[in-house]
């Protein structure tokens, strides 16, 4: 029987998840249908329950509903509980009574860093810019991967302080500092404040980039993102966007739902080529 999944968000038409999961399913020989659900703001629960009651097996959850999904799920994985945000819901029989909520964002980032970019995290010093939904999801998995120091900096220091508080009991716990107090000394700089959406520079000194080994933007696009351009211009030896994280978090969701870990490299390459082609295509001229 065809299993039904979807991504729910607002907006959602831009989501690449249907293409990613269709390719995973084809390669794994699994009969799966994956769609998009545009839920009205304030209408998340109704849309989820309608999909579940119509026989849906699970959902990916994207902006702005990751906190609503956390509140709605009856049970959570440890990493979702720590993040306070859910990007993967399971309603099948194995999930038991009520829905199971998980968060695969951080696992996706860590796998992309370690496996695709060959960046070992153990003992490294990491700067995380941003304290929103994505940042919440990546802190626990970065600590689990053994980073030696994690600093969070955000436009609203109070939001960074709230995020950091949740991890205070960890042996290596994150600390927050003001953006204008950041000094060089990080191996990895992770951008999770959405600067790519605004095509804007982050308020970080060139010296911080120049002293780092890798700059990683969670945002992705067909052309180098504003953060990637800034990091390269400032002398950071390597800079990349978050397309790999997108594919890896999807693979982790696929595993959570179906118990199969799909190969990701071909999907990553297909998407990268599609993004590049979209960027290179001439835009239609207005008549
Ligand atoms: P949220 O809206 O939850 O968080 C946004 C964060 O950015 C907050 O910390 C906010 O700070 C900060 N921010 C917003 N506007 C500004 C601004 N004008 N100047 C400085 N800081 C600002 O977004 P997400 O955490 O969900 O997403 C963050 C980024 O991560 C996006 O680019 C998204 O595309 C990307 N992402 C990529 C994924 C992938 O798989 N590759 C997965 C998930 C997200 P404040 O606290 O002050 O409001």
3-class SS of residue 214: strand
How much is the pLDDT for 98?
74
Q: What string of H, E and C letters represents the secondary structure of 124-187?
A: CEEEEECCCHHHHHHHHHHHHCCCCEEEEECCCHHHHHHHHHCCCCCCCCCEECCHHHCCCCCC
Work out the pLDDT band at 281, boundaries 50, 70, 90: confident
CA distance 252 to 97: 22
Q: Where is pLDDT greater, at 72 or 96?
A: 72
Q: Which residues are catalytic?
A: 66
Strands (DSSP E) found in the chain: 3-9, 32-38, 58-61, 75-76, 88-90, 100-102, 125-129, 149-153, 175-176, 188-191, 214-217, 238-240
Q: How far is the CA of 166 from the centre of ligand 1 (A)?
A: 19
Chain mean position to CA 261: 18
| Pocket of ligand 1 contains residue 225 by CB under 6 Å | no
Work out the pLDDT band at 73, boundaries 50, 70, 90: very high
Residue 93 pLDDT > 70: no
Q: How far is the CA of 1 from the centre of ligand 1 (A)?
A: 38
Per-residue pLDDT tens for 35-47? 999 999 999 999 9
């Amino acid at each position: 029987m065809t299993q039904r999944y979807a991504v729910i968000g607002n907006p959602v038409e831009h989501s690449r998840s249907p293409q990613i999961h269709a390719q995973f399913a084809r390669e794994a020989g699994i009969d799966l249908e994956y769609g998009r659900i545009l839920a009205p703001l304030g209408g998340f629960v109704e849309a989820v329950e309608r999909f579940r009651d119509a026989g849906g097996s699970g959902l990916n959850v994207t902006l702005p509903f990751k906190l609503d999904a956390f509140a709605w799920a009856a049970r959570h994985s440890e990493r979702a509980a720590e993040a306070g945000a859910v990007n993967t819901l399971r309603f099948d029989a194995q999930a038991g009574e009520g829905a199971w909520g998980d968060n695969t964002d951080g696992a996706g980032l860590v796998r992309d860093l370690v496996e695709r970019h060959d960046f070992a995290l153990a003992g490294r010093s990491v700067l995380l810019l941003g304290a929103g939904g994505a940042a919440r999801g990546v802190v626990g998995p970065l600590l689990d991967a053994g980073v030696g120091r994690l600093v969070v900096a955000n436009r609203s220091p109070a939001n960074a302080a709230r995020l950091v508080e949740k991890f205070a009991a960890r042996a290596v716990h994150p600390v927050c500092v003001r953006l204008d107090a950041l000094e060089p000394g990080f191996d990895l700089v992770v951008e999770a404040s959405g600067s790519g959406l605004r095509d804007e520079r982050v308020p970080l000194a060139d010296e911080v980039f120049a002293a780092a080994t890798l700059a990683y933007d969670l945002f992705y696009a067909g052309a180098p993102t504003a953060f990637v351009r800034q990091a390269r211009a400032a002398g950071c030896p390597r800079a990349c966007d978050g397309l790999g994280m997108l594919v890896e978090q999807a693979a982790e969701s696929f595993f959570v739902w179906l118990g199969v870990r799909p190969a990701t490299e071909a999907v990553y390459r297909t998407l990268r080529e599609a993004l590049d082609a979209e960027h290179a295509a001439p835009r239609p001229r207005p008549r």
